[in-house]
Amino acid sequence: MDVYKELKHLNRDWSLVESSVLQDPSAEEDVIGPAKALLLLQYTYKLDLTTLSKGVLPGTKYPSTLSVGDCFRLGQTALSISDLHHSMLWMQQALKQLNAGEHSTISKVQVLDHLSDISFWLGDLYRAVDFTHQLLSLDSSHKQAQLNLPYFVKFLEEKRAGNLGNKESETKQETLNSSPQDTLDYKQTLESYESLCRG
Averaged over successive runs of 10 residues, the pLDDT of the chain (199 residues) comes to 60 68 62 83 84 82 87 94 93 97 96 97 93 97 95 90 56 45 52 64
CA distance readout (Å), 56 to 19, 49, 90, 197 = 36, 10, 16, 20
CATH 1.10.490.10 fits 1-105, yes or no: no
Provide the pLDDT for residue 180. Answer: 42
| Residue ranges of the chain that CATH labels 1.25.40.10 | 1-105
Provide the pLDDT for residue 39. Answer: 86
How far does Cα 169 stand from its chain's mean position? 28
Residue among 179, 177, 111, 171 nearest 145 (CA): 111
Residues 40-95: tens digit of each pLDDT: 888 888 888 888 888 887 778 777 889 999 999 999 999 998 999 999 999 999 99
Contact 83, 100 (CB under 8 A): no
CB-count burial class (<10 Å; 0-12, 13-18, 19+) for 76: middle
Provide the pLDDT for residue 169. Answer: 44
CA distance readout (Å), 24 to 15, 30, 34, 137 = 14, 12, 19, 42
| Residue 60 per-residue DSSP state | E
Provide the pLDDT for residue 139. Answer: 97
Entry pTM: 0.69
Q: Into which CATH architecture does domain 107-199 fall?
A: Alpha Horseshoe (1.25)
Which amino acid is present at 8?
A: K
CB-count burial class (<10 Å; 0-12, 13-18, 19+) for 135: buried
Mapped to the 3 state alphabet, what secondary structure does 103-171 carry?
Answer: CCCCCHHHHHHHHHHHHHHCCCHHHHHHHHHHHHHHCCCCHHHHHHHHHHHHHHHHHHHCCCCCHHHHH
Count, residues in the chain: 199
Provide the pLDDT for residue 138. Answer: 97
Pairing between strand 56-57 and 60-61? antiparallel
